[in-house]
Structure 1
Amino acid sequence: MTTLLGIVGSPSPGGRSLVAVRALLEGAAAAGAATEVLELADAPDPEAVQQAIERADGIAFATPTYRARSSSLIKGVLENTERGIAGDTRAPLLGKAAAIVHTGATAHHFLAVDDLRDVLGGFFAAQVLSPGLYFEGADYVDAGTLTDRAADLAHTHGRAFAEFTAAVRAAPSVQALRPLL
């Protein structure tokens, strides 16, 4: 069974990024994946985060957008993550499937998805499902509920993420790719 981990980089527990990644993971579960959510606002032990990434077949990074970038909590996890080069003893993202879910007040910062995609794909050699998701305030009925259109999009993306992850797992040559430098 494919296992997918949603990492939520919001500094506050709950919130729109959690709602969005849960919707994505609901779609993945409907496609047969086992899912788990880890909220960084709960200050989990950094080693426990790395172990959760290692155990998962695919990781969905969910983050609010600040100044057209991912949250500092997501950046902190990535700063702690080894790449499998230059003496690293592990590489938990290497050859893994990844998905991106960004949330923001307006659509003006949707290109923040590209920044995280570049880091995951080029720096870590993760295989990133494109195009990623970006939900703005108008995509929510209230703080805890996506609109029907946004929920449908998240579910479709989740089903695609489950299928994509299974395909990456079944492709040893794809998993053997290494970071750019």
Structure 2
Amino acid sequence: MTITLLGVVGSPSPGGRSFAAARALLDGAAAAGATADVLELADRPDPEAIQRAIEDADGIVFATPTYRARSSSLVKGVLENTGRGVAGDTRAPLLGKATAIVHTGATAHHFLAVDDLRDVLGGFFAAQVLSPGLYFEGADYVDADGIPTLTDRARELAEAHGRAFAEFTAAVRAAPAVRALRPLL
């Protein structure tokens, strides 16, 4: 059975650095046999369509620029509208789901923002998070005719995480006891 992955890109600008990083990770996953799609929140997709896409995918990659050591408000908005399966929630699309994190920023100073999102996904939603996550800074990109492109080293790292994420997602999907874990509260 094919693994299906979804990249949720939380940049306010389409086609930017976060998109390039997510695309490279998903390319690595595709090389390992997964299918992947990207949903850019800059395109203002319907909130219900976002939730359905998250529910339908086996694994979710959250890619976001870093603002003040945190994820973008677009990613936060998606998570605020996502049920956890507790306190009357009728849906829990991230519960027991494999997830991966890609943060981008100008410098390495805010790389710990990955940990913040990992805590939210793992503790609050009971999603399974591939560690250690990725953080790419400005030096990890080159400008190719106005299009942000990862350097060879950064692309290789993202693709390696993508291959690992495909395997991780397959393992989580095949582990009913892991998928049955619930949020902390």
What TM-score, normalized by structure 1, do the two folds share?
Answer: 0.99
Distance 1:141 1:76 in 2: 30
Question: Which runs of no fewer than 5 residues in structure 2 stay unpaired?
Answer: none
Instruction: Give the alignment of 1:30-179 within 5 angstroms.
Output: 30-142=31-143, 143-179=147-183
- Percent identity among equivalent residues? 85
Distance 2:45 2:141 in 1: 28
Query: 1:3 is matched by which residue type in structure 2?
Result: T
Instruction: Give the alignment of 1:17-32 within 5 angstroms.
Output: 17-32=18-33
- Please name the residue that 2:7 is paired with: 6
Aligned residues: 181
Distance 1:131 1:11 in 2: 25
Distance 2:148 2:111 in 1: 21
Match of 1:180 among 157, 178, 184: 184
- Cα shift at 1:169: 0.3
SS at match of 2:168: helix
- Cα shift at 1:37: 0.1
Aligned residues: CA RMSD: 0.5
Query: 1:50 is matched by which residue type in structure 2?
Result: Q
Question: Which runs of no fewer than 5 residues in structure 1 stay unpaired?
Answer: none
Distance 2:150 2:43 in 1: 23
What TM-score, normalized by structure 2, do the two folds share?
Answer: 0.97
Structure 1 segments, 4+ long, off by >6 Å, are none
